[in-house]
Every structure is written in structure tokens, then in C-alpha cells.
């Protein structure tokens, strides 16, 4: 039996309402990002498309109302510097390489760690990124994974070999240890969110270099602003020093509360270091117990 014109019209209205609801949520997130001082995040293309859509008359978009005049243009220029176009052609210094896992996608909605409109918009903005030289050697860009509304976020350094293959952070031996640490705190891995300072694997698991951190860090900051956790655990020196803008060694930063953009941040050792130095696990556990105490009222019963 064919559809009546009333059915078609009703379906179109439902779709329009759905788009409006999604768009409104996306704009709320963007307004919060900007009010939280994430000025590095330009209005992503998805936001601009929504702003141009009939659902939002000119001037009602958060991108227009929340950012100072000219800021959106400046931040967009900063982030897109050396960035390629979506078809992979750009002025970046890194040699483009074929990345079959990323290249053929029309969107990133199915990617891990994109469970809210704001996170998806950030992932769309990263795209098939070649903003730094790590792009040349990656198999998969590792955005993040977990609960988009997590009260607890773990931030590590960068993907290793297993993560580069699977497109998910902390899935190798160090990741298995992190998962056990999370479970010991009373959470499931899916309760929290996990991300890294750099989204692409440094070759040979070397440390990320300053220019690579500088290129990628705005995306981490945008992820944290989108999730708005109660507590961040910075795993290892790169995560702690990057987020805190503090060059103090991790051995002195760990175990003491710090603040990142108004959010409590606990630096502790990286699980990979704990695998090499198991005697330090006790100190890491003490740090996580401080986190548990801070979040105690909402710890799940297991």
C-alpha cells in the first residue's frame, strides 16, 4: 500500500523536528565550549551548516552570539593552518599517505568517542587530519572512547601500536592495566571517557614532540570542554604537563590536586610506566583513591 500525502508530510515534519532538536543541542554545547574559554575551537563545519539551515534564523547561532567579533575567523585560521582540505590536498608539511581506515568515510558518526553532538563536531573538525607530521605514519586516528557525559576522564599521552591498529585508546598491555585500575575504582571502562594528548601514534612509540602537541592539543581541550567531567586523571608527564602548563616532573606533580579550567585534575603515573616499575603501583593507587574520595558520593555500587 502506498504512502498517503499526509503520511509523507508527517514524516517530513518529524525529521525536521529531529534536526531542530539535534541542532539546538549542538548549539548549546558550542555555547558552553566558548563560554568555557575554548577559543581555539572554531565553529566546526557541521555547526556552520546548521547555522545556515532554515532551523536557525541569522544571528541566533551560538557561534555568532558568544564569540567576540573576529574571534571565530582568527581561531578558524589558526586551526586550519597547514590543514588539508577534506579531499586530502593541502599545504601541510607532512607527506600525505594513504590511510584507508580514515579516507573513505563520509562522516565520523560511527567512530568511537563521538557519542554527543559536540564530540562528533570535534571529530568532524579533525577530519582526516594532517596538521602535524604524525599523520604520515598512522593507520588509525585515535579520537577517544567512552561515556560522552562521564564524570571521570582519563588523559594519556598518545596511541601505541595496538591503539593505532584498533583506533581506540589504551587497548594494549598498558590499556589493560588502566582498565583494571578503572574497575578497581568501581567503574566499568564504558562509564568513563579516555583520550590522549595526541591522536596519532608517534613512530616507534617515541615521545610526542612539542610541535605535535601544540597542533593536537586544542582538540583534547575541546573534548574536555564538551564532556565537562568532575575530575580529570592525567596519566603521565605529557598529559599532566600539557594540561597544567607546568614542567614539574610527574614524580612531584602526582598525588596532588591541581585545577584545569575549573575542573579538579589528579596527575598520576602512566600505566606503561607502572608496567615497567611495578613498585610504583602503590603510589598510583593512592592517587586514584583520592579521586574515588572526591567522587565518592556517586560511585556505582558493584
DSSP SS3 for 84: strand
CA dihedral 65, 218, 117, 120 (to 10 degrees): 140
Q: What letter does residue 260 receive in the DSSP assignment?
A: E
Verify binding: residue 212, ligand SF4, rule CB under 6 A.
yes
Smallest CA-to-CA distance from 150 within 111, 113, 199 is with 113
Cα separation, 202 vs 200, whole angstroms: 6
Which span sits near ligand SF4 by CB under 6 A: 53-61, 122-130, 147-155, 260-268? 122-130
Closer of 20 and 162 to ligand SF4 (Cβ): 162
- Alpha helices by DSSP H, 36-93: 45-52, 62-66, 71-80
CA dihedral 136, 137, 140, 146 (to 10 degrees): -100
Closer of 61 and 218 to ligand SF4 (Cβ): 218
Total site size for ligand SF4, rule CB under 6 A = 14
Sites for ligand SF4 among residues 32-91 (CB under 6 A): none
Cα separation, 65 vs 241, whole angstroms: 33
Verify binding: residue 135, ligand SF4, rule CB under 6 A.
yes
Verify binding: residue 122, ligand SF4, rule CB under 6 A.
no
Which span sits near ligand SF4 by CB under 6 A: 22-30, 43-51, 196-204, 283-291? 196-204
CA dihedral 36, 122, 29, 224 (to 10 degrees): -50
Closer of 131 and 221 to ligand SF4 (Cβ): 131
Cα separation, 237 vs 195, whole angstroms: 15
Verify binding: residue 114, ligand SF4, rule CB under 6 A.
no
Sequence-ordered strand ranges (E) for 91-160: 145-146, 152-156
- To ligand SF4, the closest distance from the beta carbon of 138 in angstroms equals 7
DSSP SS3 for 26: helix
Encoded one letter per residue, x for contact with ligand SF4 by CB under 6 A and - for no contact, window 213-252 reads: --xx------------------------------------
Contact of 152 with 235, CB cutoff 8 Å:
no
Closer of 181 and 224 to ligand SF4 (Cβ): 224
Verify binding: residue 200, ligand SF4, rule CB under 6 A.
yes
- To ligand SF4, the closest distance from the beta carbon of 41 in angstroms equals 14
Cα separation, 218 vs 198, whole angstroms: 10
In this chain, which of 29, 99, 123, 199 binds ligand SF4, going by CB under 6 A?
A: 199
- To ligand SF4, the closest distance from the beta carbon of 25 in angstroms equals 25
Verify binding: residue 126, ligand SF4, rule CB under 6 A.
yes
In this chain, which of 29, 99, 112, 131 binds ligand SF4, going by CB under 6 A?
A: 131
**Interaction site with ligand SF4 (CB under 6 A):** 126, 129-132, 134-135, 141, 198-200, 212, 215-216
Amino acid at each position: 500500500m502506498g504512502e498517503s500525502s499526509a503520511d509523507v508530510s508527517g514524516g517530513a515534519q518529524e525529521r525536521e523536528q529531529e534536526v531542530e532538536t539535534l541542532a539546538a543541542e549542538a548549539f548549546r554545547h558550542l555555547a558552553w565550549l566558548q563560554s568555557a574559554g575554548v577559543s581555539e575551537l572554531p565553529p566546526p563545519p557541521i555547526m556552520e551548516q546548521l547555522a545556515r539551515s532554515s532551523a536557525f534564523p541569522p544571528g541566533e547561532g551560538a557561534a555568532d552570539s558568544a564569540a567576540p567579533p573576529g574571534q571565530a575567523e582568527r581561531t578558524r585560521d589558526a586551526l586550519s593552518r597547514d590543514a588539508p582540505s577534506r579531499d586530502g590536498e593541502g599545504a601541510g608539511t607532512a607527506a600525505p599517505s594513504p590511510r584507508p581506515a580514515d579516507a573513505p568515510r563520509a562522516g565520523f558518526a560511527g567512530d568511537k568517542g563521538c557519542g554527543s553532538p559536540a564530540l562528533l563536531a570535534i571529530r568532524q573538525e579533525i577530519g582526516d587530519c594532517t596538521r602535524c607530521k604524525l599523520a604520515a605514519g598512522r593507520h588509525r586516528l585515535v579520537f577517544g572512547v567512552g561515556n560522552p557525559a562521564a564524570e571521570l576522564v582519563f588523559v594519556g599521552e598518545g596511541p601505541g601500536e595496538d591503539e593505532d591498529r584498533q583506533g581506540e585508546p589504551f587497548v594494549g598491555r598498558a590499556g589493560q592495566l588502566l582498565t583494571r585500575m578503572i574497575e578497581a575504582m568501581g567503574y566499568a571502562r564504558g562509564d568513563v571517557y579516555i583520550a590522549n594528548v595526541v591522536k596519532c601514534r608517534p613512530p616507534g612509540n617515541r615521545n610526542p614532540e612539542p610541535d605535535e602537541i601544540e597542533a593536537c592539543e586544542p582538540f583534547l581541550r575541546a573534548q574536555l570542554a564538551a564532556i565537562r567531567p568532575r575530575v580529570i586523571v592525567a596519566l603521565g608527564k605529557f598529559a599532566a604537563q600539557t594540561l597544567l602548563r607546568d614542567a614539574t616532573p610527574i614524580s612531584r606533580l602526582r598525588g596532588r590536586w591541581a585545577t584545569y579550567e575549573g575542573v579538579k585534575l589528579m596527575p598520576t603515573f602512566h600505566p606503561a610506566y607502572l608496567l615497567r616499575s611495578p613498585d610504583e603501583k602503590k603510589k598510583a593507587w593512592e592517587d586514584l583513591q583520592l579521586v574515588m574520595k572526591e567522587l565518592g558520593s556517586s560511585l556505582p555500587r558493584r
